[in-house]
Copies of this chain bind each other. A is one copy, B any other.
C-alpha cells in the first residue's frame, strides 16, 4: 500500500510486453506496476519506474522484489515452483497460487487434471522412449512438458526417426493425438480470490507457424451452444484449479466438438483485443483480480474487433519509425501497440487492433497494418 496515494502496489515477475501493457492499466488505477526484469532494456523495464533487476529463478532476488508489493503476479510462467512455495510460506501473496500455476507450467500436470475433471482434451500420454511413442501411435504431436511457448517445445511427429530426434534431447515429453481442426478458439476469464469470475466473449485465433498471428473477436459464426460450452469449460478450469487472475483457455474446434489445447494463467496474446474491443482490458482485469477488486465488465466495446500481431521482419528496409508513419497514414483508425523491443526476425514486436462493423474488412485492415510494420511495404 502506497502511503501517499492510499493505493496498492502490484509486483510482476517478468518485464515483457504483458508487463508493459499491465503498467499502462496500473497507471489508470492510480498505481505504478513494479516489475522484476532480467535486463534494463526489457519491454516493461523501459517504461516503468523503479524496475528491480534480478533473476526470476533466484529466491533471494524474488524475496527482495516481493518485499514492498501488496501482491506478486506473473508476466510469464517460468518461475520455479519451489521458490514460489517458499515465498508463500514466508507470507507473500503470490497470485495465481503455485498450486494453480503448476497447471500452466507443466502440460503433464495440466492434462492429468483436466482428465480428472472430465473436460474434453486430445488423447495424450507421457512418453519417454521410442516404444512409448510407438505404443501411443503415429502420427502424433510431441510436447515438452515444461518451458514451451509460441510453438517452441512442440513437434509434429510422422515417423519414429522424428520422435527419436526429439527424445534425444532428454526433456520430459507428452504425446498428443494430432487432431483435424476446423479452427482454434480462445476464452479469457478472470477469477478473483473471493471466487468472482468474469468471462469474455469467445474469440477465434489464427496461428501461423505455431505463433498466434490474428485474433477475431467475437469468433465469427460461432453457434451459441458451442460458445456456451467454451465459456463453461473456462469457468470450470478457473474454479476447479483455483485460478486467481486472468486465465486464457485455448481450444481446438473440430467436427467432434471442442478440446482444450493450452492454458495460460496471465494476460495472453489471444486477449490483446480487449484493450479496445472490450469494456475492460485483460490487463486491468488481471490487476483487479489479483487485488481482489470487483471485476470489470467484459462486454464488447465494438461489434467486431480484429487484432494482428506484428513480428520483426527481415533486416533492411525502412526504420520502424518510418514504417509506423506509413501505417498511420494508411489507416488512421488502426490502434498500434509497439513493445519497445529491438527488431529481430520473427520476434513479436507489437500488435495492431481495429474495431468496427464489418469483420472481413477489419481483418484485411489488421493484416495490412501488421504487414506494413513488419515488412515496411
Interface residues of A (CB under 8 A from B): 1, 4-8, 20-21, 23-24, 26-32, 41, 45-49, 51, 198, 276, 279-280, 288, 293-297, 299, 301-302, 319-321, 324-325, 328-329, 332-333, 335-343, 350, 355
Contact = CB atoms under 8 A, between A and B. Distances in A.
A297 B1 CA distance: 39
A81 to B, nearest CB: 31
A41 B320 CA distance: 34
Given A1-B321, A341-B5, A28 B335 contact: yes
Contact of A28 (B28, B48, B320, B338): B338
B29 A27 contact: no
Contacts of A299: 333
Given A28-B337, A30-B350, A325-B293, A343 B48 contact: no
Given A293-B324, A294-B332, A332-B295, A32 B46 contact: yes
A contacts with B: majority SS: loop
Contact of A49 (B27, B46, B342): B46
A198 B299 CA distance: 29
Contacts of A339: 30
A273 B29 CA distance: 16
11 contacts: A4-B342, A6-B319, A7-B324, A7-B338, A24-B28, A27-B340, A47-B49, A48-B49, A279-B332, A279-B335, A299-B333
A294 B327 CA distance: 9
Nearest to A350: B30
A46 B49 CA distance: 7
A45 B32 CA distance: 10
B301 A30 contact: no
Given A49-B47, A320-B7, A296 B340 contact: no
A293 B328 contact: yes
Contacts of A51: 49
Top 5 A-B pairs, shortest CB-CB distance: A30-B338, A294-B329, A297-B333, A6-B320, A294-B328
A297 to B, nearest CB: 4
A321 B7 contact: yes
A65 B326 CA distance: 30
A336 B28 contact: yes
B1 A27 contact: no
A279 B48 CA distance: 25
Contacts of A5: 320, 338, 340-342
A168 to B, nearest CB: 37
Contacts of A328: 288, 293-296
Contacts of A23: 27, 47
A73 B297 CA distance: 36
Nearest to A326: B294
Given A29-B324, A320-B30, A296 B333 contact: yes
Contact of A333 (B279, B335, B340, B350): B279
A297 B46 contact: no
Contacts of A8: 321
A147 to B, nearest CB: 27
Contacts of A279: 332-333, 335, 355
Given A32-B340, A198-B332, A294-B328, 16 more contacts: A5-B340, A6-B319, A20-B27, A28-B337, A30-B324, A30-B338, A47-B49, A276-B301, A279-B332, A288-B328, A293-B325, A295-B328, A296-B328, A296-B333, A299-B333, A301-B355
